[in-house]
Amino acid sequence: MRYYIIAGEASGDLHGSNLIREIKKRDPSADIRCWGGDMMRSAGATLVKHYRDLAFMGFIEVLANIRTILRNMRFCKRDILDFQPDVVIFIDYPGFNIPIAAFAKKHAFRTVYYISPQVWAWKEGRVKKIKASVDKMLVILPFEKEFYKKWDFTVEYVGHPLVEVIEESRNTTPGNDRPLKKKTDKPLVALLPGSRKQEVQIKLPVMLAVVKHFPDCRFAVAQAPGLEDAFIEAFTSKYSNVDTVKGDTYGLLKEADAALVTSGTATLETALFGVPEVVCYKGSRISYLIAKRLIRVPYISLVNLIMGKEVVKELIQDDMNEKNLITELKKILFDAASRERMLSDYDALRSLLREGGNASAKAADSIATVLASKPSTK
């Protein structure tokens, strides 16, 4: 069978790679073409476009790069027609994937959406387009099943793929791979400022401002693989108790005692590693004001959204400042009751996300079922 998979960011590359491995277990001769990253390529797919050439963050950046985005869409459509896949699989990345899904459906390709766009947060009207274009929607958050039900769209909850990824990582015998803990017995605070230069430039200086207030702690910045050493060093070089961990965020989280984390998937990853965290968001003023008018959910972190309450503190825009970060970091480092309450909620979160089962395996099984169904006439 021929599979065409589209992911547009680092998390999609991770989940896409695990999906590819499960597909190949069921279909060893699978011919897979993808938009994604190095992990999807290593899993056995032919990489068409790398996500680093696709990821544009915020309303202003999207507008500034609209020509590139439209050019990529035209290329993607031509590539799908040339490849003639048996199924087109979309992984999140809605601004690109929803229009391509409509195109694929128009040309009678089977379509599967794995990892729903966050239509429950904003632009809920996009559900109509998804429902018209997608043969099967596979969701990874428990509340998404009920959300789609009100739109009369039956979806399948497969569990969250991060659970299996992180449990495997946590269970790896650490051996001698704890270089940061070897340096000192001081508490270690992980700083996760994001993977894009634009967000790092805004958030990392504020995160680093707290360092001088915690002389008895050690700090480490998680450097995304796509960011140059010199770029991160420009922020960290003046701090003697700040390390940098490049391309190994999970390794850092296995050692960390607490974390300051940019909003997004990283908030859930940190929770699943059992690290008390403070969630940080700060964007350009214009993008923030637009988002504030459009977003219709009470929280920005996946942890709080899934649990339906404030498990982790969210410091958003002007509230993400040095004073508030100091206050909240002290709580999760030194207030035993606060730490214990958060860790207990993390246990409940883990149990909730396990209910769906092995997400990658269930998604692959569901895709196989779609492939076994009668195709449309092309």
* 105 and 244 share one domain: no
* 36 and 178 share one domain: no
Sheet holding 188-192, edge to edge: 242-246, 218-223, 188-192, 258-262, 277-281, 313-316
* 234 and 364 share one domain: no
- Decide: 314 and 300 in contact? Cβ < 8 Å: yes
Average pLDDT taken over every residue of the chain? 90
pLDDT at 31 over 60: yes
pLDDT in tens, 289-304: 655 555 666 788 999 9
pLDDT at 57 over 80: no
Average confidence (pLDDT) over 38-53: 93
Number of domains in the chain: 2
Residue 224 gets the label, from left (phi > 0), alpha (psi -120 to 50) or beta, of: beta
* 178 and 151 share one domain: no
- Structural domain boundaries enclosing 251: 167-354
The answer to whether position 17 is within a domain reads: yes
Percentage of the chain with pLDDT > 90? 72
* 85 and 174 share one domain: no
Phi, psi of 260 (to 5 degrees): -110, 120
The answer to whether position 345 is within a domain reads: yes
The answer to whether position 238 is within a domain reads: yes
Residue 263 pLDDT level (bands cut at 50, 70, 90):
confident
* 131 and 14 share one domain: yes
The answer to whether position 365 is within a domain reads: yes
* 291 and 194 share one domain: yes
| Res 47: pLDDT | 97
The answer to whether position 378 is within a domain reads: no
| Res 173: pLDDT | 55
pLDDT at 280 over 60: yes
pLDDT at 348 over 80: yes
The answer to whether position 39 is within a domain reads: yes
**Higher confidence at residue 17 or residue 377?**
17
| Res 204: pLDDT | 97
* 182 and 328 share one domain: yes
Lowest mean pLDDT among 109-123, 216-230, 261-275, 280-294: 280-294
The answer to whether position 315 is within a domain reads: yes
* 249 and 280 share one domain: yes
pLDDT at 59 over 90: no
- Decide: 206 and 320 in contact? Cβ < 8 Å: yes
pLDDT in tens, 138-166: 999 989 999 999 999 999 999 999 998 89
| Res 295: pLDDT | 62
Lowest mean pLDDT among 82-91, 114-123, 187-196, 228-237: 114-123
Average confidence (pLDDT) over 109-132: 90
The answer to whether position 273 is within a domain reads: yes
Average confidence (pLDDT) over 277-296: 71
CATH code for the domain in which residue 102 is found: 3.40.50.2000
| Res 175: pLDDT | 46
* 287 and 268 share one domain: yes
pTM here is 0.82
Residue 10 pLDDT level (bands cut at 50, 70, 90):
confident
| Res 298: pLDDT | 73
| Res 179: pLDDT | 63
* 181 and 121 share one domain: no
* 267 and 136 share one domain: no
pLDDT in tens, 70-81: 889 999 999 999
